């Protein structure tokens, strides 16, 4: 999708589709007021009739509307002007993206960057708009029979600025371009995650990572079972031993910073399918366990975005990829495996496998002497109970790192919330037979999972994102969301000195 920023006359320019935001209380933004006047008050009359109330996210497409040269006029509701917020703006533009996709619009112009949204300047609104519209455009349908009429996608989005905003055009374009790159990386993460488990195996995921890396001068190193065995990665190998698919450890390096600068390391859980192993999951919605590699997908997408943005930093990504199946060779409850670090782990529940493969990956990541480590994983159902499907959890050993991630989440609208990591929770991981157990019981499940991971990072600044509630959706819009790619990219931009 090409992004253009320019001044537009909403009445006289012969546009393919003109997008106008409206408020439900009748207040008309600048462009809408001009269109209403040119059309002899037809917008106000339309709203008075009640067919279009301008509720937040409501859209209505008009063809050859009076007073404008545009072929289409797409109205989108923002709700009450007194309650405008960045979340409402995002919701409205997501609806626009879906409406544009449904109608096959290829060229569109958006007005409304001048709106007074609290704590958001025009460039920030442009960023939100581009990502939301791209999100609404997303489809994953290449396994379906081809449609009789090929789907038309949005090719050009023009962000309209008036004379007052024109001096900010360069900043608006820069923000929108960064949003486009983030959106493309997010869509790629969604594509990886939406592939079924018979296609997205650990080997396939590694191949996709290699292909992406080769096109961007990112270094790639893929480790197989023999190399894992030599490294002593018995936790990762123990999870994989119930599957006929070999595990892979995907390691990527983007070197955009000073040669000797310590890298930031992202570690993403890459369970390409998780049946729970011997501790078998219920059949209901087990098909969604292909999404247990969303942490790995988002880590790969983040390094892709960093390379495309040419961020001046060094970034390494480590993704342990495996399946977790109940084969006759599978790890049994009560088995004990030794980690790469040397700690022994009693496997009480084989469905708590994500922390096992992450433990060896975190240990491996330490060899790069990183400035910090951030891992992301669809790790615990307890996180969904605590925070629902709206917010990720963040826990860590470095408060500054945690706060930076929270700030990036607020800015990108890809929010997270901090949970405690008090030492007392480590008591729940004690085992009478090994150095620690892989589960700590039902209480504080998200926290004890993070406590387990903390045992493998030592003194390196570290934060953990539990994305179990936000990585995918069920229902009407079922599929991977790509979260927390926006949060991660915003964090990387800030760390590289390119903040919004």
| Torsion, CA 33, CA 48, CA 56, CA 58, rounded to 10 | -100
Known catalytic residue at 83: no
* Beta strands in 311-391, from DSSP E residues, in sequence order: 314-324, 336-338, 344-346, 372-377
| Dist. CA 288–CA 196, nearest whole Å | 9
Nearest to 115 by CA among 137, 138, 86: 86
Joined together, the tokens standing for residue 331 give 């790890």
Q: Is 380 exposed, middle or buried (0-12, 13-18, 19+ CB in 10 A)?
A: buried
| Beta strand pairing call for 156-161 and 344-346 | unpaired
DSSP letter, residue 2: E
Contacts of 169 (CB under 8 A, 6+ apart): 5, 6, 161
80, 103, 255, 281: which one is catalytic?
281
Task: Kindly calculate the radius of gyration of the chain based on its CA atoms and give it in whole angstroms.
Answer: 24
| Dist. CA 98–CA 95, nearest whole Å | 5
Nearest to 494 by CA among 371, 396, 412: 412
Q: Helices (DSSP H) in 232-330: which residue ranges?
A: 234-240, 294-308
| Dist. CA 348–CA 334, nearest whole Å | 5
91, 269, 355, 483: which one is catalytic?
355
Contacts of 240 (CB under 8 A, 6+ apart): 202, 225, 246, 247, 322, 323, 324
Reduced 3-state DSSP string for 119-158: CCCHHHHHHHHHHHHHHHHCCCCCCCCCCCCCCCCCCEEE
Known catalytic residue at 120: no
Q: Kindly list the catalytic residues.
A: 281, 355
């Amino acid at each position: 999708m090409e992004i253009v920023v320019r001044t537009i006359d909403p009445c006289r320019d012969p546009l393919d589709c003109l997008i106008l935001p409206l408020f439900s209380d009748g207040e008309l933004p600048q462009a809408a007021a001009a269109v209403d006047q040119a059309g002899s008050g037809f917008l106000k009359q339309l709203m008075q009739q009640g067919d279009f109330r301008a509720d937040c996210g409501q859209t209505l497409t008009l063809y050859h509307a009076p007073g404008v040269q545009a072929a289409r006029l797409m109205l989108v509701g923002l709700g009450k002007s007194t309650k405008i917020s960045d979340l409402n703006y995002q919701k409205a533009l997501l609806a626009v993206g879906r409406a544009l996709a449904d109608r096959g619009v290829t060229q569109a112009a958006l007005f409304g960057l001048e709106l007074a949204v609290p704590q958001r300047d025009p460039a920030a609104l442009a960023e939100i708009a581009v990502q939301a519209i791209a999100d609404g455009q997303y489809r994953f349908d290449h396994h379906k029979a081809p449609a009789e009429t090929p789907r038309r996608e949005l090719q050009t989005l023009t962000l309209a600025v008036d004379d007052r905003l024109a001096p900010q055009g360069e900043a608006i374009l820069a923000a929108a371009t960064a949003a486009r790159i983030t959106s493309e990386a997010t869509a790629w993460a969604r594509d990886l995650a939406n592939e079924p488990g018979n296609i997205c195996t650990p080997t396939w995921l590694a191949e996709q990572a290699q292909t992406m890396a080769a096109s961007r001068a990112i270094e790639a190193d893929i480790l197989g079972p023999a190399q894992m065995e030599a490294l002593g990665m018995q936790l990762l190998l123990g999870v994989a031993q119930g599957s006929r698919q070999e595990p892979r450890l995907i390691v990527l390096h983007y070197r955009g910073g000073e040669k000797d600068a310590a890298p930031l390391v992202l570690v993403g859980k890459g369970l390409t399918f998780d049946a729970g192993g011997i501790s078998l999951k219920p059949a209901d919605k087990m098909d969604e366990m292909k999404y247990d590699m969303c942490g790995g997908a988002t880590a790969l997408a983040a390094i892709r975005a960093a390379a495309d943005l040419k961020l001046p930093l060094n970034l390494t990504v480590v993704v342990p990829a495996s399946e977790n199946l109940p084969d006759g060779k599978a790890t049994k409850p009560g088995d004990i495996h030794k980690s790469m670090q040397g700690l022994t782990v009693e496997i009480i529940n084989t469905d708590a496998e994500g922390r096992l493969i992450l433990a060896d990956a975190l240990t491996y990541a330490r060899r790069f002497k990183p400035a910090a480590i951030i891992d992301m994983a669809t790790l615990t159902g307890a996180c969904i109970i605590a925070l629902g499907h709206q917010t990720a959890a963040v826990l860590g050993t470095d408060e500054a790192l945690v706060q930076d991630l929270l700030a990036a989440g607020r800015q990108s609208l890809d929010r997270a919330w901090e949970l405690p990591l008090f030492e007392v929770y480590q008591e729940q991981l004690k085992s009478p037979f090994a150095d620690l157990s892989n589960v700590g019981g039902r209480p504080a499940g998200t926290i004890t999972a993070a406590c387990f991971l903390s045992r493998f990072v030592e003194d390196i600044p570290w934060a953990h994102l539990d994305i179990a509630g936000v990585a995918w959706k069920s229902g009407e819009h079922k599929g991977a969301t790509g979260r927390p790619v926006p949060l991660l990219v915003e964090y990387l931009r800030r760390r590289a000195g390119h903040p919004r």
